[in-house]
Each structure stands twice: as C-alpha cells, then as structure tokens.
Amino acid sequence: MKQQVHVTTLATADLEAARRFYVEGLGWRPLLDVPGEIVFFQIAPGTVLAFFEAGKFAQDLGRGPGRPEVSGVTLAHNVADRDAVRAVVDAMSAAGGTVLTAPEEGAFGGVFHALVADPNGVVWEVAHNPGWSVDADGTVRLG
C-alpha cells in the first residue's frame, strides 16, 4: 500500500450546518454535493475531505442507526504568519464556528495557533509554525 490518503470522511450530525459553514461561510466549492447525504471538497491535489450525514455514515459502515461522533481528531490548516491565523479564526467564527482556543503561543515547537470547532464539533487547528512550510503544490515541509 502506498503511503497516501485520498479521502477523509467525517460523520456529520447536521449536514446542512456543515454545508452552510464551509460553502456559504468559508467560500469552499464542493467537488460533489449530494443533498441529505454527503458533500465532498477537494482540499489539495489528490486529497478530498467529505462530510457524510451521520446516520447514513453509520449505515454505510453496517453499524445500524446510531450516529457516530468525531472525537480525538483535529484537522490542521497551516498559514504563512500570525496575522493569517487571526484572520482565518475570525472568518471561521463569523461563519458559525466556535473558537475553543483564541490565537496564542503553542506549547510545542514555536507554533502560534488557535482551535475552532465547526457547527458539528469538527475541531480545526489554525496554525503558523515558522519551522514548517507548505509548497504551492501542497507538499508539507516539516523542520
């Protein structure tokens, strides 16, 4: 198996709230949008993030009608500088996100970051780490 992930799918209790947050609030464009079921976003070359209505997600997994929740996971969005951290957090908050941790110095590696939950509780870390970079093609360089 190659070391790559093409699609990350998250169970979403309120798909309409997710759609409003990402499409209307943050200006993301769906790659594919199936109302009442799932919405896909191309987030980098070869990488898709999907929000799947939780009941249908559970059914797809063969787990019955339960509604799984996302926990123990953060999605990270790295930006070029501290002001960009603040700007993205402000945009996410204005779109209906909940700021869990305001922009601040992190405990590790010189990072300046914040944590924001989307309307379904998906936690995003918005970060600037001066030792990391993201190339135009999406390649992440650590250290």
CATH of the domain at 115: 3.10.180.10
pLDDT value of position 55 = 87
- Asked if 135 contacts 118 with a C-beta cutoff of 8 angstroms, the reply is no
Where among 48, 69, 90 does a domain terminate?
A: 69
Residue range(s) defining the domain that contains residue 114? 71-142
**Residue-level pLDDT at 65:** 64
Count of domains observed in the chain:
2
Proportion of the chain above pLDDT 70, given as a percent: 94
- Tell me the pLDDT of the chain averaged across its residues: 90
Q: Is residue 65 located within the same domain as residue 82?
A: no
Q: How confident is the model at residue 109 (pLDDT cuts 50, 70, 90)?
A: confident
pLDDT given for residue 71 in this prediction: 64
Average pLDDT over residues 42-47: 89
Q: Are residues 91 and 59 in the same domain?
A: no
CB atoms within 10 A of CB 50: 17
